Amino acid sequence: MTENMKVAVIGQGTMGAGITEVFAKAGFEVHAVDNSEAALERGRSIVAKSTGRAVSKGKMSEEDQQAVLDRITYFTDTAQAVSDCGLIIEAVFENLELKQSIFKTVDEAAPADAILATNTSSLAITAIAAAVSSPERVVGVHFFNPAPVQTLVEVIRTVFTDDAIVAKLVELLKGLRKSPVVVNDRAGFIVNCLLVPYIGSAIYLYENGFATREEIDKAMVEQAKYPMGPLALADLIGNDVCLAVLEKMYDETKDRVQAPAPILTRLVMANMMGMKTGRGFYTYEGGKPTEDR
């Protein structure tokens, strides 16, 4: 089913560019979409940097890197980009109206048998599916950051989703050497439902002056053997994304553990989103934390 199938990835931020790289590396022609040349340029440079790192470590040849980059075509026109694609993955920022409007365009412009997937971290897939005329082909596909590295992908079905679409997507993901799990639609799915309240609790510890950011992070790396501590992870995920996930889970459950700490909302107001803006719980230079407080 996947032979010669083209894939469109709408949104070329951190996640969208990572997903673009995953498919281009696996040999798919990818149509990468965003709403401005500047946004496309940002996406292009994320993929170039990530594959360039593999070249400099001797894990990819320069020819293979060029072949990956050549498989990606960039578009600002969504309808044009999706018109011949078998899989469309939307990965724009977390705004329901925006996602619904993109899905309406995609539903009209994509081939009738295309899978329409959204990579939302926090929004209801059901609300996105309900906005289109063929909700049975809408499914959630939740990659983790950094997408080229993390193997888990959550596949989210709604009350509308056709089982055959889920099965097709699961097989496709396995072919990319990803490890899919199928879940029902609820805020946070599996991973964010467990992971983000843990990050939120760490933020409360930090906000209350209970321990320094380094002590909090060190404790979880040393003892729980997590690859990084919760505050460094918030900076990697993006404080805006953490806030959006917590708000959605709190809205849905009214569970106080899910209520975001005031300091998180202030970091987001101050555009201190973490690694992507150079400052969050830590300060970054060239993607690495500095000694600054």
Binding site for ligand 3HC (CB under 6 A): 50, 53, 57, 59, 121, 144-146, 148-150, 192, 195, 227-228, 233, 236-237, 241, 245
41 is catalytic: no
Which two three-digit tokens encode residue 56? 């400099």
Catalytic residue, candidates 94, 142, 239, 247: 142
Which tokens sit at 124? 């209801």
CA distances from 236 to 12, 142, 174, 281 (A): 17, 16, 25, 10
**In the complex, minimum distance from the CB of residue 1 to ligand 3HC, in angstroms, rounded to a whole number:** 27
Q: Which is nearer to ligand 3HC, 86 or 274 (CB)?
A: 274
Q: Which of 50, 119, 121, 239 is catalytic?
A: 121
Nearer to ligand 3HC, 105 or 145 (CB): 145
- Residue 196 DSSP code: H
Min. distance of Cβ 243 from ligand 3HC in angstroms?
11
Pick between residue 58 and residue 209 the one whose CB is nearest to ligand 3HC. Answer: 58
Taking the complex as a whole, how short is the minimal distance between the CB of residue 62 and ligand 3HC, in angstroms? Answer: 16
Taking CB positions, which residue lies at the least distance from ligand 3HC? 121
* Contact present, 260 and 250 (Cβ < 8 Å): yes
Cα 270–chain centre separation = 22
Cβ 283 vs Cβ 213: under 8 Å: no
CB of 245 to ligand 3HC, least distance (A): 6
H helices of the chain, in order, are 14-25, 37-56, 62-70, 78-82, 96-109, 125-129, 163-175, 191-207, 213-224, 230-237, 239-253, 262-269
Question: Does the annotation mark 142 as catalytic?
Answer: yes
Smallest CA-to-CA distance from 34 within 126, 100, 108, 98 is with 98
192 is catalytic: yes
Under 8 Å between Cβ of 16 and 2: no
Residue 54 C-beta: closest distance to ligand 3HC, Å: 6
Q: Which residues are annotated as catalytic?
A: 121, 142, 154, 192
